[in-house]
Amino acid sequence: MTHNAQRKLFIFVCLVPAFLFFCLFTIYPIVRGMYISLFDWSGSSEHMTFIGLNNFKALYEDPIVWKAIGNDYFLVVGKVIGIVLLATLFAISVTRLRIRGAAFYRLVFFIPNIISIVVIGVLWRFVYNPSIGFLNAFLSLFSDTPVKTPWLGDTGTALWSILWPSIWAGVGFYFLLLVAAILGIPASLYEAAEIDGASQATQFRRITLPLIWEQVKVSILHIVMTTLNGSFVMVLLMTEGGPDNATQVLGSYLYQMGFKQFHMGAAAALGVVILALSMLTTLVLQLLLRRDPVELS
């Protein structure tokens, strides 16, 4: 076999079977889902009627869709800020601030990541339960009258109450990631800064942040994507989108439409909207987060 043929064979074997396999089980169903979005289909009937873009038109006119998009971005922004801030704070604490017990925190903070989201959902529903939940019982200790706030049942608090467990469950992973990134920064840089008399804050701004920026960026992108595509699981487990659609996100609305209200065509159209939004968001973020790479001296 010639060298060139060997090379081609290698590329082929490494690439093509995996790609075909991948296309069959992810791309094909997605394309098929897009196709379904052009039909009026209950999702349980054997018959489908082609209606062009009417599903999209109906979604455009549906106020719940707009509310759901708003909620999606609320969760995206809330999770990005909450997780990145906390993870960075904790990571700095156990590394640069040299707080003792780093090994312990690294062990403990990651635990929510290994717990199934179903379990997390059940646990937090109990925390928020208005009559037997932990939160109200706790708050009642500081109040003369028993606190009965329906955390998941008030349009004002419900979405916040979903945001919090999402942050709770997410911090550990990014914490470890950022710890690793900080530990990877050469100590000599900090030593040089010390000699220049730079304070901790300055060191953070001048050295730590620029050098972990790549990881922060990856974290942000990852949180955004997983939130847009996956936050609906938490919503379904905690509130099913209620009360009065106050916590509806696109994914949970898709589930509601497709599996509860028998509009699979509209649900598929929602899926396309989610896809478009997450691509657009990622693209915009990529541009926003672009920052001159910092060269190590």
Partner 1 sequence: MTMKKGILVMLVTALVFLLAACGTNGNDNNKSPGTSESASGSPDGSTSASNSPEAIPTGLKGDFEIQYFVGGYGDAWWKDVIDQFQKLNPELNIKQSAGPKINDQMKPRWIQGNPPDVVYIDGSGSNPRQMVEDDQLLDLTDWIADAKNIDGEKLLDVMIAKPDEYNGSIYNIPLVFGSYGTFYDQALFEKNGWEVPQDYESFLALSDKIKASGISPYVHAGIYPDYILGGFLYPAIISANGDDGQILKDMGDMKEGVFKSEPVMKALNQLKEITDKGYIDPGAVAINHTDSQMMFLQHKAAFIPNGLWLESEMKKDAPADFKYGFVPSITQAKGGKFVALPYTSTMAVAKKAKNPETAKAFIQFIFTKQASLSWAEKTGALMNVKVDLESSSAGDTAKNAMKYYNSDNTIVAPVVVFNADVFKVMGDATIALTMKKITPEEWADRVEKAAAKVRK
Partner 2 sequence: MLSQPSKFTKTAAQLALVLWALAVLYPLLWTLLSTLKDNSQFLAGRPWALPKSPLHWEHFSYVWRTYHFNDYFLNSVYVTTVSSVLAILLSATTAYVFSRFEFRGRRLMYGVYMAAMMIPMILGLVPLFFLLDDLGLINKLTGLIIVYTAWSLPFGVFVLGGFFRSLPKELEEAAYVDGSGYFRTLFQIMIPMARSGIVSIAIMNALNNWNEYVMGTIFVNDPSKYTLPVGISIMQAEMQYRVEWGPLFAGLLISMVPVVFVYIFFQRRIAEGIIAGAIK
7 counts as binding partner 1 under rule CB under 8 A: no
- Restricting to residues 31-90, which ones interact with partner 1 according to CB under 8 A? 42-47
Task: Please say which residue, 35 or 155, places its beta carbon nearer to partner 2.
Answer: 35
240 counts as binding partner 1 under rule CB under 8 A: yes
262 counts as binding partner 1 under rule CB under 8 A: yes
* Exposed e or buried b per residue across 147-184, where buried means at least 16 C-beta atoms within 10 angstroms of its C-beta: eebbbbbeeeebbebbbbbbbbbbbbbbbbbbbebbee
Task: Please say which residue, 2 or 143, places its beta carbon nearer to partner 1.
Answer: 143
92 counts as binding partner 2 under rule CB under 8 A: yes
Residue 148, contacted partner among partner 2, partner 1, none, CB below 5-8 A by kind: partner 1
Pair type for strands 49-50 and 39-40? antiparallel
Task: Please say which residue, 121 or 245, places its beta carbon nearer to partner 2.
Answer: 121
Helix (H) / strand (E) element for 224: namely: helix 209-238
Minimum distance of partner 2 from residue 101's CB (angstroms): 7
In three-state secondary structure terms, 182 is helix
Q: Which of 95, 227, 256, 281 binds partner 1 (CB under 8 A)?
A: 256
Say how far apart CA 194 and CA 191 lie, in whole Å.
5
**Cα distances (Å, whole numbers) of residue 80 to 77, 208, 280:** 5, 19, 17
Inter-residue contact 269 to 55 (CB < 8 Å): yes
Task: Please say which residue, 60 or 134, places its beta carbon nearer to partner 2.
Answer: 134
Task: Please say which residue, 109 or 151, places its beta carbon nearer to partner 1.
Answer: 151
123 counts as binding partner 2 under rule CB under 8 A: yes
Q: For residue 241, what are the contacts with CB-CB under 8 A and spacing of at least 6?
A: 235, 247, 248, 249, 252, 253, 256
76 counts as binding partner 2 under rule CB under 8 A: no
149 counts as binding partner 2 under rule CB under 8 A: no
Say how far apart CA 272 and CA 198 lie, in whole Å.
50
Q: Which residues sit at the interface with partner 1, rule CB under 8 A? A: 42-47, 128-132, 148-155, 158, 239-240, 242-245, 256, 259-263
